[in-house]
Amino acid sequence: MKTIEINGKKIKIYAEQIRALRILKAHGFAAKRGDFTEKQGSRSRRHDAWILPCILHDDFGVYEAYPTTAKTAREKQFFAAHPRCQSGVFGNPRRINAILSKV
C-alpha cells in the first residue's frame, strides 16, 4: 500500500488498484468490465479474480456507464464500437495519469 497526496487529499492506493488503473489507461480510458479479471491461485486451483470494484471510486475518477446513459463522446464512441456491451468502465484521463505518475 502506498499513500499519495492529490489536491491536498491523501489517498491510500493498493497494488491491485494500480494494476486496474494501468489496465484502464492501456485501453484508452474506456474498457469492458471483463478486462478487469486476473488469474489467481495455484496451478491446480486456478480461478479468475475480478479487480474492478477496487477502483470504482470518486477518488480515482473511475465510473461505470451504460449505453442508455452515455453522455460523453468517449462513452458514445465506445458503445458504438461495442454494440453488445451492456456496460463500460470509463476514467478521467487527467486524474488517472496524475495518480499513476505519483505511484
pLDDT in tens, 48-97: 777 887 777 778 889 999 999 999 999 999 999 999 999 999 999 999 99
pLDDT at residue 57, rounded to an integer: 77
Q: What is the mean pLDDT of residues 37-49?
A: 76
β strands within the chain, DSSP E: 2-6, 9-13, 30-32, 37-40, 47-50, 62-65, 88-91
Q: Which three cell numbers mark 67? A: 449505453
Give residue limits of the domains in the chain. 2-102
Q: What is the overall mean pLDDT for the chain?
A: 89
* pTM score of the predicted model: 0.86
pLDDT at residue 25, rounded to an integer: 96
> Vertex 37, ends 33 and 4: CA angle to 5°?
90
pLDDT at residue 52, rounded to an integer: 80
Percentage of residues in the chain with pLDDT exceeding 90? 58
